[in-house]
Amino acid sequence: MQLLGKRAGAAPARAGRSSAVAKIPVVAGSRSRVLSTTVMATAATQVPVKEVPTKPIDGQKTGTSGLRKKTKVFMSDNYLANWVQSLFNALGDEVAGQTLALGGDGRYFGKEAAQIIVKLAAGNGFKKIYVGKDAIMATPAMSAFIRRRKAYGGLIMSASHNPGGPEEDFGIKFNYTAGEPAPEKITDKIYGETTSISTLKMADIPDVDLSKVGVTTFGGFEVEVVDPIADYLATLKEVFDFGMLKAFVTRADFSMVFDAMHAVTGPYAKAIFVEELGAKPESIKNGVALPDFGGGHPDPNLTYAHDLVELQWSDAGAMLGAASDGDGDRNMILGKKFFVSPSDSVAMIAANAQACIPYFKGGLKGVARSMPTGAALDRVAAKLGLPFFETPTGWKFFGNLMDAGKCSVCGEESFGTGADHIREKDGIFAVLCWLSILAYKNKDVPVGGQLVTVEDVAAEFWGTYGRNFFSRYDYEACESAAAEKMMDHVRSVIAASPPGTKFGAFELATADDFEYTDPIDGSVAKGQGLRFVFTDGSRIIFRLSGTGSAGATIRMYIEQYTNDKARLKEDAQVALKDIIKVALDLSKLQEFTGREKPTVIT
Ligand code: VG1
Ligand code: CO
């Protein structure tokens, strides 16, 4: 049965499942569950399986990237198990006899969650599960792992850039056969299953020791605990010239600093930047991964990566500064006293890729960015004559383009940069891209000479393409009703504003609620952001975040282009002052939310 259009015929049919069920009411203890047991499991795995009755739980709808809720919610009865079982139900017969991968960003509850998932995987007929040591695997590493090991898919236990710990967030997401975040046709189906779920299929096997690499077998089911770094590193070595990078990183006049924000990339950064490329151990800041990220917010932006920002704006700043998020898919790139906007970063990488990065030496197949992302990448596509795509927010929309060979490099303004070496955004990849660009541009500069800096690379790019000033204002944890009202108001402004309407000095070209038709499979995503596009190319966009776990986060995106040579180095907030005022006025954001200032400005 070809359920979801992938791996047709790859899964052997599930056969001979025994269904001798004996209901055993459990009366003792605090949990008033009714347990059932079956004696046998699938013919494929031959492990004993308990069929545990369960009930649907409200609100298990996947957001922009997986299901995210408060950790305590995830720890409550069957919350995690219901969603994972719903996923397996959605995948149906496809999963029998397949191999699954499992990892996470090491946040609080990950190890316990892993044990639950291992039992569900065995109970649902998978023949094997790979688990990252200590239940850890960064998001891009998981994508690489699925691809290299030809796993059927993988589960990532992470709420990404959201804080972790018992009082904060936990999350889970599923990546499919090409390593890509599950597309909406799967996540919609999972949600449907969560509303009618009645049984969990849990293998009756003991917890597995996840602290040691190795194989444990239960009947025909195998658990292999793996090094979470090795496969990812092997993939990165296929993309970059590690020899050239090492020669550059170890130059006496070069320095870098990477802030892992006490999140999953600590050990990856140590293995890759220090052990492979020879960076000094002290180049890694906050490199010890902690289950609560040291109480911080592991989001690499100018507000939350304050340690790094402070360092880079001091005289002790390194030539390259970088940070990554909870699960290692985001990146922030800084020079000395210089911030590279993520919308620019992806465009600068695309513009330099062919010359500087071996994986791209044949040229790019195409490029893509999410709709709110600044349009610098569009200019690169135009100049290089590349196919260009504008997708909704969220990495899942890039997967089809990459699978179809239409996109090599893509990015989001939200500190997400990636390429088709895997199917996730990739924080360390972005840092290696910048290292490659710097190494290439400095290859003829003698040690002690005038090195080409991050800022020089940006200035060169702006000199060629002009500059798309970009800023995003986040208003975190607003009251949901107020945020909805504001969005309704903005919709009414769009309805009342024909082309030609003046907003301050800006004349409207078009305004709409962004809708995307996937050029590969024709699927349509509606309601992806309210946008105003002005005749000079400036844009204002409003969206509600789909990754929060409580309340509403309003995102306001602002963009304006200039090719006035005198203005290229202007501060973005200064350059965008007028259009930001237009955006705040037209949305009445302050009036609706009571917020004077955003929580985060990028
Ligand atoms: C945010 C970003 C989006 C990104 C998503 C997941 O979503 O805007 O671009 O893909 O987070 O990133 P939203 O719906 O909150 O705006 V991660 O690193 O948290 O998986
Ligand atoms: Co992330």
Task: Tell me, yes or no, whether 181 and 278 share the same domain.
Answer: no
Q: Relative to the CA of 158, which ligand 1 atom is closest?
A: 20
Please say if 160 is a catalytic residue. yes
Task: Decide whether any atom of ligand 1 lies within 6 Å of the 160 Cβ.
Answer: yes
CA 262 to the chain's CA centroid: 17
Is the separation of the CB atoms in 80 and 113 below 8 Å? Answer: yes
Dist. CA 215–CA 209, nearest whole Å: 10
Return the exposure string of 97-126: e unless at least 16 CB atoms fall within 10 Å of the residue's CB, then b.
bbbbbbbbbbbbbbbebbbbbbbbbbbbbb
Has residue 13 been placed in a domain? no
The tokens of 301 are what?
Answer: 């932006």
Q: Which ligand is nearest to the CA of 416?
A: 1
Task: Decide whether any atom of ligand 1 lies within 6 Å of the 557 Cβ.
Answer: no
Residue 74 CA, ligand 2 centroid: distance in Å: 19
pLDDT of residue 543: 96
- Collapsing DSSP states into helix, strand and coil, what is residue 415? coil
Task: Tell me, yes or no, whether 394 and 489 share the same domain.
Answer: no
Task: Decide whether any atom of ligand 1 lies within 6 Å of the 547 Cβ.
Answer: yes
Task: Decide whether any atom of ligand 1 lies within 6 Å of the 555 Cβ.
Answer: yes
Let me know the angle formed at the C-alpha of 294 by 291 and 295, rounded to the nearest 5 degrees: 100
User: pTM for the whole thing?
Assistant: 0.89
> Which CATH number goes with the domain that contains 158?
3.40.120.10
pLDDT of residue 44: 56
Task: Tell me, yes or no, whether 186 and 41 share the same domain.
Answer: yes
Has residue 9 been placed in a domain? no
Residue 393 CA, ligand 1 centroid: distance in Å: 7
Q: Write down the catalytic residue from 65, 160, 408, 549.
A: 160
Has residue 355 been placed in a domain? yes
**Domain closes at, from 439, 465, 491:** 465
Dist. CA 7–CA 92, nearest whole Å: 13
Task: Tell me, yes or no, whether 451 and 475 share the same domain.
Answer: no
Task: Tell me, yes or no, whether 165 and 253 share the same domain.
Answer: no
Task: Flag residues of the chain having pLDDT under 50.
Answer: 1-36, 39, 41, 43
Dist. CA 88–CA 480, nearest whole Å: 32
Nearest CA to ligand 1 atom 6: 65
Please state, in angstroms and as integers, the Cα–Cα distance from residue 581 to each residue in 483, 578, 587, following that order: 19, 5, 10
The tokens of 539 are what?
Answer: 């844009």
Which residue's structure tokens are 């924000």? Answer: 261
Is the separation of the CB atoms in 180 and 424 below 8 Å? Answer: yes
**Domain closes at, from 422, 444, 465:** 465
pLDDT in tens, 109-148: 999 999 999 999 999 999 999 999 999 999 999 999 999 9
Task: Tell me, yes or no, whether 89 and 201 share the same domain.
Answer: yes
Has residue 88 been placed in a domain? yes
Helices (H) and strands (E) in the chain, counts: 18, 29
Nearest CA to ligand 1 atom 11: 547
Which residue's structure tokens are 């709420």? Answer: 159
Residue 487 CA, ligand 1 centroid: distance in Å: 19
Task: Choose among 265, 516, 486: nearest CA to 396.
Answer: 516
pLDDT of residue 550: 75
Dist. CA 576–CA 559, nearest whole Å: 7
How large is the angle between the packed helices 427-441 and 242-249, nearest 10 degrees? 70
* Domain ranges, residue 66: 18-228
Task: Tell me, yes or no, whether 342 and 307 share the same domain.
Answer: yes
Task: Tell me, yes or no, whether 390 and 536 share the same domain.
Answer: no
Residue 248 CA, ligand 1 centroid: distance in Å: 33
Q: Relative to the CA of 161, which ligand 1 atom is closest?
A: 19
Instruction: Give the single-character DSSP code of 396.
Output: G
**Domain closes at, from 417, 444, 465:** 465
Task: Tell me, yes or no, whether 212 and 287 share the same domain.
Answer: no
Has residue 499 been placed in a domain? yes
Q: Which of 143, 297, 393 to mutate to test the pocket of ligand 1 (most atoms within 8 A of CB)?
A: 393
**344: number of Cβ within 10 Å:** 27
What total of structural domains would you count in the chain?
Answer: 3
Has residue 314 been placed in a domain? yes
Task: Decide whether any atom of ligand 1 lies within 6 Å of the 395 Cβ.
Answer: yes
> Which CATH number goes with the domain that contains 516?
3.30.310.50
pLDDT in tens, 150-207: 999 999 999 999 999 999 999 999 999 999 999 888 999 999 999 999 999 999 999 9
Dist. CA 562–CA 568, nearest whole Å: 7
Instruction: Give the single-character DSSP code of 294.
Output: G
Q: What are phi and psi of 14, to 5 degrees?
A: -80, 125
Looking at the chain, how many residues does it have?
A: 602
Has residue 4 been placed in a domain? no
Has residue 8 been placed in a domain? no
pLDDT in tens, 283-318: 999 999 899 999 989 999 998 999 999 999 999 999
Task: Decide whether any atom of ligand 1 lies within 6 Å of the 164 Cβ.
Answer: no
Task: Tell me, yes or no, whether 273 and 398 share the same domain.
Answer: yes
Task: Tell me, yes or no, whether 427 and 479 share the same domain.
Answer: no
pLDDT in tens, 501-539: 999 999 999 999 999 999 999 999 999 999 999 999 899
Q: Relative to the CA of 393, which ligand 1 atom is closest?
A: 9
Task: Tell me, yes or no, whether 480 and 393 share the same domain.
Answer: no
Residue 425 CA, ligand 2 centroid: distance in Å: 8
